[in-house]
Structure 1
Amino acid sequence: MSSNRPSVRAILDRTKQAGRTSLHAAECAELCRAYDISIPSQALASSASQAVKFAGEIGYPLAMKIASPDILHKTEANGIILNVIDSAEVETAFRHLLARAKAYNADARIDGVLIQKMAVPGVELIVGASTDPSFGKVVAVGVGGVMVEVLNDITFHLAPVSVDEARAMVAAIRSQQFLNGVRGGQAVNREALASLICAVSRLVDDFPEIAEIDLNPVFASPDGAVAADVRIVLDFEPPPERFRPSRDQILIAMNRIMRPESVAIIGASAEDGKIGNSVLKNLINGGYRGRIVPIHPSLDSVLGLKAYRSLLDVPDPVDVAVFAIPARLVAQVLHDCGARKVAGAVLIPSGFAETGNVDLQNEVLAVARQHDIRLMGPNIYGFYYTPQNLCATFCTPYDVKGKVALSSQSGGVGMAILGFSRSTKMGVSAIVGLGNKADIDEDDLLTFFEEDPDTQVIAMHVEDLKDGRSFAEVAKRVSARKPVIMLKAGRTAAGARAARSHTAALAGNDRIYDDVLRHCGVVRAYSLNDMLEFARCLPMIPTPRGENVLIITGAGGSGVLLADACVEFGLKLMTMPPDLDQAFRKFIPPFGAAGNPVDITGGEPPTTYQNTIQLGLQDSRVHSLVLGYWHTIITPPLVFAKLTAEVVEAERRKGNHKPIVASLVGDVEVEEACAYLFDRQIPAYPYTTEKPVAVLGAKYRWARNNGLLAN
């Protein structure tokens, strides 16, 4: 793939000197030619006679389009005339286009009329790029033409993209039937389309000042991919440089914060109801084994511990300081932290950017940068790290140890995490509040939890990603080893700014998060409960070896609902092999149903459940099992739970670790049965057919995203 960078640089420099933020049609064409982006033969005419001259040189039939920096979407101004076939039509079309432009916007600047060879008919697509506030340059491809924002069939990827990534983007378009040829038509040239995507990707990567680019429509055909219309928007203001310490620097600081040998409480208090009192009590009562250092301006001791007037008076090293003082005092005390080489400051106080006081937050951040102090917060509930019995928060204490690390930007969500963990006995390694994320963010936590032997799964509630590109880079590495789950809040919010291109308008929706998270292996949750259940269950569910999912149920109605849920959550129902079908029929009554779902019917004794589950687990062609139980007195709920656990455990002892989840419907006894199964690492839910399939689907998404499935 060739590129003429000096030519593009010259155009952009001229545009900047002229004070413009968009390119004229001729300039867009020159950029496309410089990067081997195929466009039709074209010329810009400033008069009707010139249009006739150019038309004769280019050849009929023609498309004629108004060229104006003030008319961004030509179709809205009726500014396109197609299939112009002779000079008389050229003259007429030229006059009509000028009149329509003035009628649409009387003050519009008119560069002229673009005379363009009609492109070879094909599937209308859009290829483009935009600049996302979190992720930077993103490239897009999808269904284009006038319906682009209606159909919203588009996929995104961080720029630059490789040829393989471009091919995968094309494959991710939902409307594959159009690309493969409709009603006997030929398939589009996917390689040409992938090359076009790569060219756009290289262009915006080479020239960051290209803020938005639209190629719409791109006519994709068996012969190639041609951009019939091009729009390019510029932004010459460079984005602020983002602070990003090295991985080693992050680990050094985060290890001192999460595993401190000493913790100071700035604003420690002996008075019940004060934040400084609650934090101190939690540290003491939680069993933290390191040094606890209360800081109080006048007291000699707080809750039986020696207190100091200032950090400067503390004789021993301090790793982390928890702030429980008013926001206005934080910056000055941070200078003291710097003098004592404190690694991290946990800023519980509010009153910073979340209340509009951005300047104060920036001042605090500047002091932290000056002294190489990492900040957690501000405006947070603190954090828990159970391997160290560290409860550095003013909220309720929690000490149930487990392998799940969770974080949240919201204090309320943090407390929901706490309550769920306690209620379900999930157990956690950490719960971390991030709040305003002035400094420490999800990247830092992922880097720490990646190396943390006490963490197997990471779940994150996110309202925004401060540096989405850095997050994607770290998450791609971490998720290959440990599942990363994200609940992105605000997914239905409108874009933060008005977009001047289709690509940017579409990027303003939530699709970009879906695509980027999938590319970097992150499992996305769409509700708080889903995030928590995924975090709870993914460590229990073995990684599947393939896509074949089999349903075994005691109730036909539940089987249908479970099958619907499998489709909804992206699971593949196994096509039943004839020999396996016959094997199941040996255990079920004649009026039952093999196939998939396997319906053993509700009146069967425990042995029928036992035999069919065992058969499903032992057959290597079955990769995962979904069980549907129906409460009967013939096979009571706890009997079902115990026999299921026995069969599963027997297979696990043989080394046969296969995903299995269960849905139990019936009277309240099914709740006890589900708890019994959960205690034995089998996700089971009462009164729902969706939830067990959803958690299995999450495991499959993680395995697929990270290339772990055999087929």
Structure 2
Amino acid sequence: MSTFQPDKSKVREVLDTVKAAGRGSLTAPEGKRVCEAYGIAVPQEAVATSAPEASKLAQGMGFPVVMKIVSPDILHKTEAGGVIVGVKDAAEAASAYEQIVANAKKYKADAAILGVQVQQMVKGGQEVIVGAMTDASFGKLVAFGMGGVLVEVLKDVTFRLAPATREDAGSMLDSIQAAEMLKGVRGGKPVNREALEDTIVRVSQLVSDFPEIAELDLNPVFASDTGAIAADVRIVVDFQPKTPRYRPDEKSVVAAMNRIMKPRAVAVIGASNETGKIGNSVMKNLINGGYKGTIYPIHPKEAEIMGLKAFRSVKDVPADIDVAVFAIPAKMVALALKECGEKKIAGAILIPSGFGETGNIEGQEELQRIGREYDIRLMGPNIYGFYYTPSNLCATFCTAYDYKGTTALSSQSGGIGMAIIGYSRSAKMGVSAIVGLGNKSDIDEDDLLLFFEQDENTQVIAQHAEDLKDGRAFAEVARRVSKKKPVIMLKAGRTAMGAAAASSHTGAVAGTDRIYDDVLRQSGVIRAKSLRQMLDFARGVPILPTPKGENVVIITGAGGSGVLLSDACVDNGLKLLKPMPKDLDEAFRKFIPPFGAAGNPVDITGGEPPITYMNTVRLGLEDDRIHALILGYWHTIITPPMVFARNMVTVVNEMKQKGKVKPVVASLAGDVEVEEAAQYLYENGIPAYAYSTEIPVEILGAKYQWARSGGLLK
């Protein structure tokens, strides 16, 4: 593949012909020429324009053959009765020609019929589909799945951004539900993976090189142990150029975002002395939150607000301003935004609602035009504002936030934002930032990624989104950022009903969820399935050390917990160390009673004293063949919850001093005292949950997913 050079001139010649003819699709012979130009294997074929010619061509290829209608007006040939397979002799070929033409005329009387394709019939192999499509958010995507009923009924298909790498192509073969079928079942030979990967990579390159190719289907592709050959080609084109999304360069984005998130001076447009007003709440949060920069209240009549000199307009302020927080009615925003532009303010925090989310698209587009004209970045509208804790900055009407840490969170929804604030405060989770994005008229998730990538105060990024305005831009940035810092996303609208709700809530049209799932994974993003899971990941992933290998061991005081923890490992892609090496198994058995169980899980049983937990966990941390530990605690009077928690912290810290640093998570089963123990463990670097075997394992699984995507595991 690396030495193959496509013949782009041949493809251009075909596409120019199609465009000149005013057609929206290629004929099968044209599709074959395009495939051949990119080294995509297709069967021998030719086009007959009469029954005798069809017989002659078929005889020259050797029977059996497949015969198909050639018409730019008939894309779905089977529906039109335009395909006959298994033609066995010359007489049958002549008859098939007449039948196919008659069926085509009956199906669409005015169809332009160019002839009948006579094609060498491919025998044997596994039927798969390789295709490409154009998504409104992600652009060009390449698809792979099982052919026939599996793709149509089970929709067993996976997607990647195009152009795809060979690594991407290999992951596609392993990502479908029927992946095992490609490896050979019931004595069958495995498919030639290299040939399939070549086909996927070349299709993805083809649609990337020629954006006018809107859709491409190779279906079926017959994959065997000797190669992969596309039996049918369908190509749809769209010659209308797409208007690219407005996108500043990354250097400009980072410069503006630094002024917005770390401002030296903030203006509050609509500042108020009246309790209950949004402008009053914003002022209180800025002042009471401890912001050390300069605050400029903006009000058309007041001379002073909350002890600070007020100005009629930002243009009257005799100093530079980095960011302006808007707390005025929607109808007044555009004029004030122009004044901000004239003042050369870097960012506008648009709290007011009444724009795209209510159907006022024109009003929102006016703000976008002003923002671009004056080079002022817009956050919102329809947001709660944002926090940046390293600067004690609470540019929001919500409550001030005071738990500083290294996790940055954002949400598209105000309600979800409040949940983030509440959970973070309740769990004492330190954050570097909490940002509302609302309608995302301008600043969106990839702008935040670019800022947090270079922000020394942020180590993990968690985002809630109902849509991605520019999924490709996000994925390209996320692929780079996720190698440095974990990126977690809660993509709402996973179901049809959820997607409809997202549309009504923000004006966002949710994309196909499988596409989001696959592209986020391709980009190294950890996808959360629920709000709680996103928050748990945001809290737990940053405090877990990166594992050095895949071998996980469960140590539990309750057999039932061990079973559930094992199930959770399977669900989260974790690999238990099995079989346990004989010497390691014997070492564990020295510490547990005869009626306990070594193996994996290691069941020490519930009646054991604290020293048993300490000895087994110490052994698990000490042995280099074990890379992560999952602890299952059972509340007993012999080992009370806080005794267990303190002992575990002691052992983990003791082993850290010896250079043995591994991720450890814990599940605690028991009475209410286990809640205090779980909190103590968490505060000391061990993600622990009372009453749950699933959550701690999900957090460990998320850490592993990030480590794998970044190539950090041995």
TM range (shorter): over 0.9
1:137 counterpart letter in structure 2: K
**Cα offsets for 1:488-512 (capped at 9, x unmatched):** 1112239999xxxxxxxxx963222
CA distance in 2, matches of 1:236, 1:359: 28
Q: Deviations over 1:440-484 (max 9, x none)?
A: 111111111111111111000111112222212211221111111
Deviation at 1:704, TM superposition (A): 0.6
The equivalent of 2:228 in structure 1 is 225
In the other structure, the counterpart of 1:55 is 58
Aligned amino acid, residue 509 of structure 1:
T
Counterpart of 1:556 in structure 2 is: 559
Contact 1:215 1:229 in 2 (8 A): yes
Q: Could you say what secondary structure the match of 1:461 adopts?
A: strand
C-alpha distance 85-494 of structure 1, shift in aligned 2 (>3 A): farther
Question: For 1:611, which of 578, 599, 615 is the aligned residue?
Answer: 615
SS in 2 for 1:538: helix
- SS of residue paired to 1:539: helix
For residues 201 and 534 of structure 2, the distance between their equivalents in structure 1, rounded to whole angstroms, comes to 35
Q: Which moved more, 1:70-79 or 1:110-119?
A: 70-79
- Counterparts of 2:699 and 2:80 in 1: how far apart (Å)? 49
1:637 CA displacement? 1.2
- Which residue pairs with 1:90 in the alignment? 93
Aligned to 1:241: 244
**Alignment pair present for 1:585 and 2:586:** no
- What letter matches 1:237 in structure 2? Q
What is residue 163 of structure 1 aligned with on the other side?
A: 166
Unmatched segments (≥5 aa) in structure 2: 501-509
Q: Is it true that 1:180 corresponds to 2:163 in the alignment?
A: no
Contact 2:385-2:397 at 8 Å conserved across structures: yes
2:486 aligned partner: 483
Q: TM-score with structure 2 length normalisation?
A: 0.94
- Equivalent in the alignment of 2:634: 630
Q: 672, 676, 680: which one pairs with 2:680? A: 676
Q: Which residue of 2 aligns with 1:366?
A: 369
SS in 1 for 2:93: helix
Q: What secondary structure sits across from 1:661 in the alignment? A: strand
- CA shift, 1:316, in A, is 1.0
Counterpart in the other structure of 1:502: none
Q: Distance in 2 between matches of 1:496 and 1:566?
A: 30
The Cα RMSD (Å) is 2.1
Mean Cα displacement is larger for which, 175-184 or 420-429? 175-184
The 5-angstrom pairing of residues 69-88 of structure 1 reads: 69=72, 71-77=74-80, 79-88=82-91
Separation of aligned partners in 1, 2:666 and 2:223: 46
Shift of 1:105: 5.9
The answer (yes or no) to whether the contact 1:493–1:509 under 8 Å persists in 2 is: no
What secondary structure, in the 3-state scheme, does the structure 1 residue paired with 2:419 have?
A: helix
Q: Deviations over 1:206-237 (max 9, x none)?
A: 11000110001011122221110111111112
- Alignment correspondent of 1:656: 660
Deviation at 1:361, TM superposition (A): 1.4
Cα shift readout 1:229-257 (whole Å, capped 9, x = no counterpart)? 11111111222122222222122111110
Identify which of 442, 451, 456 aligns with 1:439.
442
- Letter of the 1:707 counterpart: G
Within 2, Cα distance between the matches of 1:530 and 1:83? Answer: 53
**Structure-2 separation of matches of 1:260 and 1:668:** 45
Compared CA separation, residues 659 and 516, structure 1 to 2 (3 A):
same
Aligned to 1:332: 335
Aligned pairs for 1:86-125 (under 5 A) are 86-98=89-101, 100-101=103-104, 110-125=113-128
Which residue is equivalent to 1:386? 389
Deviation at 1:393, TM superposition (A): 0.7
Aligned in 2, Cα 1:495/1:284: closer, same or farther, shift over 3 Å?
Answer: closer
Greater shift after overlay, 11-20 or 475-484? 11-20
Match runs of 1:27-426 below 5 Å: 27-69=30-72, 71-77=74-80, 79-98=82-101, 100-101=103-104, 110-426=113-429
Moved more, 122-131 or 67-76: 67-76
3-state SS of 1:299 partner: coil
- Secondary structure, counterpart of 2:417 in structure 1: helix
Give structure 1 stretches of 5+ with no counterpart.
498-506
Q: Distance in 2 between matches of 1:701 and 1:162?
A: 19
2:218–2:231 CA contact under 8 A, matched in 1: yes
User: Secondary structure, in 3 states, of the residue corresponding to 1:620?
Assistant: coil
Q: Which residue of 2 aligns with 1:535?
A: 538
Which is further off, 158-167 or 271-280? 158-167
Structure 2 contact 488–537 (Cα < 8 Å) conserved: yes
Q: CA 1:494–1:678 in structure 2 vs 1: closer, same or farther (change >3 Å)?
A: closer
Q: Measure, in 1, the Cα distance between the counterparts of 2:74 and 2:673.
A: 67
Q: Runs ≥4 in structure 1, deviation > 6 angstroms?
A: 494-497
Shift of 1:305: 1.3
- The amino acid that maps onto 2:86 is N
The residue number in structure 1 matching 2:697 is 693
Candidates 595, 598, 604, aligned match of 2:599: 595
What amino acid does structure 2 have at the position aligned with 1:539? P
Check conservation: 1:494, 1:509, Cα contact below 8 A. no
Alignment-derived partner of residue 573 in structure 1:
576
The 3 A distance-change label for structure 1 pair 568 and 144 is same
Task: Using the TM superposition, give the Cα deviation of residue 51 of structure 1 relative to its aligned residue in structure 2, in angstroms.
Answer: 2.5
Matching residue's letter, 2:134: T
**One-letter code aligned to 1:670:** V
Task: Indicate if the aligned counterparts of 2:668 and 2:689 stay in contact, CA closer than 8 A.
Answer: yes
CA distance in 2 between counterparts of 1:114 and 1:335 reads: 63
Asked if the contact 1:62–1:116 (Cα under 8 Å) also holds between the matched residues in 2, the reply is: yes
C-alpha separation in 2, matches of 1:7 and 1:55: 26
Per the TM alignment, residue 33 of structure 1 is displaced from its structure 2 partner at its CA by 2.0
> Would you say the 8 A contact 2:150–2:156 is kept in 1?
no
Letter of the structure 2 residue corresponding to residue 464 of structure 1: D
Which amino acid in structure 1 is aligned with residue 33 of structure 2? E
Q: Secondary structure at the match of 1:425?
A: coil
Amino acid at match of 2:610: P
Instruction: Tell me the SS of whatever aligns to 2:542.
Output: coil
The answer to whether the 8 A contact 2:493-2:499 is kept is: no
2:168 and 2:522 in contact (8 A); partners too: no
Q: C-alpha distance in 2, partners of 1:241/1:469?
A: 12
CA distance in 2, matches of 1:337, 1:245: 19
SS in 2 for 1:391: strand
